[in-house]
Amino acid sequence: MSPCNALESGKLRRYLFILLALLLSAGHAQAKGDTMTIAAEQQVAYLAGGCFWGMEELVRQIPGVLETEVGYTGGNTPDATYWNVKTGRTGHAESLKIVFDPKRLTYRHLLFEFFRMHDPTTSNRQGNDIGTQYRSAIFTVSAEQQRTAREVIKTVEASGEWQAKVVTEIAPFKEFFRAEEYHQKYLVKQPQGYTCHYIRRMDLGE
């Protein structure tokens, strides 16, 4: 190989190496964000009801739920992480992203299950977990979801199953920040891990 060809070959190798590094870096950055793909026939819901470990473990077992992912939403702080959300100063709540099949599970029924698995009457608290990041909230992606959420809350309050007023927040969805990998499906990885969630036997007047 001539010196000229060797030089060009070296430049090409360096170019390819830099390009590969950039592609890997971009893929790593994307993995930190909202990565779930939603098909046209599927729907998505964003719910917050305390520590997301227990919420995810119960929700993922509901027939019609296709995929779940825990993360942070509801605030204005960019690039939310566990370490800044836990301070309670970011405005974000520990939340659950739920992809579901509307032919098998309606959004309305999903919300009734949501109200069975957490206490919607305690402001910024679930069990021993206290702070704005543990508030009860429904983050809606459409006007239809917002109407359904309001109707379900009225039905839940009218049922009399909860003795105090429902304080669940209804707010438009903004952005979802995927939680760190060790939080995902945490109770599958750690079956004896902490949770304050369970399914209550309640007649909510559906």
Tokens encoding 204: 């909510």
Q: Return the C-alpha torsion angle 188, 88, 138, 33, nearest 10.
A: -60
Helix axes 143-159, 107-116, angle to 10 degrees: 40
Q: Which residue has the tokens 């360096």?
A: 14
* Amino acid, single-letter form, for residue 141: V
Tokens encoding 119: 């206490």
* Amino acid, single-letter form, for residue 70: V
**Separation of alpha carbons 101 and 67, rounded Å:** 10
Active-site residue, from 44, 45, 51, 85:
51
- Nearest to 47, CA basis, from 176, 188, 202: 176
DSSP at 86: T
Question: Does the active-site annotation cover 4?
Answer: no
Tokens encoding 167: 């304080």
Provide the annotated active-site residues.
51
